[in-house]
Amino acid sequence: MIKVYSKESRFSRDHGWLQSNFSFSFADFYDPENLQFGSLRVFNDDFVQPNEGFGKHPHQEMEIVSIVLDGELKHADSEGNSAVTTFGGIQRMSAGTGIYHSEFNPSSTNEVNFFQLWFLPDKKGVTPEYEKTTYDISKMKNNLLPVVSRQASENVAYINQDVTIFMSDLEIGNELTHTQEAGRKMFLFVIEGEVTLNGDIKLSKRDSVRLTDETSAKILANSDARFLLIDLV
């Protein structure tokens, strides 16, 4: 089954300092028919103004991934971790038994745009942990580049769940196919540009697709396109 979600279907909230777009129920947006997709519980597309951000707040029993698309994002937490991430970087936090953290735009001039994803962990009670990794942006070109996975490496952040997140820059006319075992799911999010999925599904900037009981996804770039693909349970 393939279900398409246009960018207009997302719940949006403008707080002045923060423009948020929710793909799933979050905060004051509640839709009992849209709570999660497999282990993916939250997918927020956030724009934070200069010198603004989320103050210290708690998390527990959740895998939290922040992917910066533009600008700078500063993280600090109760475990003593602190780091600034830009495009080409990943922040992954295992909230585990409990942690406090803040996320802030340290720039005085430029907004930051980032995705924040929450995944349900495959085990509870882990010690809270923070990790920052970087990946080679050039390797996204016409390729599905893993940036988060349970099979971690030097440039791939670890996650306590059977999930892999890929980033890709697909040039116009090029095509990529991702295959997976039966019973798994795929979540595709178009960041920029336009693509065609499996021959006939047209997708534009900020549209997304949820694939269930499909073993492959064929993605053709109708223009130069950037997208994120998640292989998950």
Local confidence pLDDT in tens for the 233 residues of the chain: 999 999 999 999 999 999 999 999 999 899 999 999 999 999 999 999 999 999 999 999 999 999 999 999 999 999 999 999 999 999 999 999 999 999 999 999 999 999 999 999 999 999 999 999 999 999 999 999 999 999 988 899 999 999 999 999 999 999 999 999 999 999 999 999 999 999 999 999 999 999 999 999 999 999 999 999 999 99
* Residue 193: inside a domain: no
Number of domains in the chain: 1
Domain span at 79: 10-135
CATH of the domain at 111: 2.60.120.10
* Residue 225: inside a domain: no
* Residue 130: inside a domain: yes
CB 192 within 8 A of CB 141: no
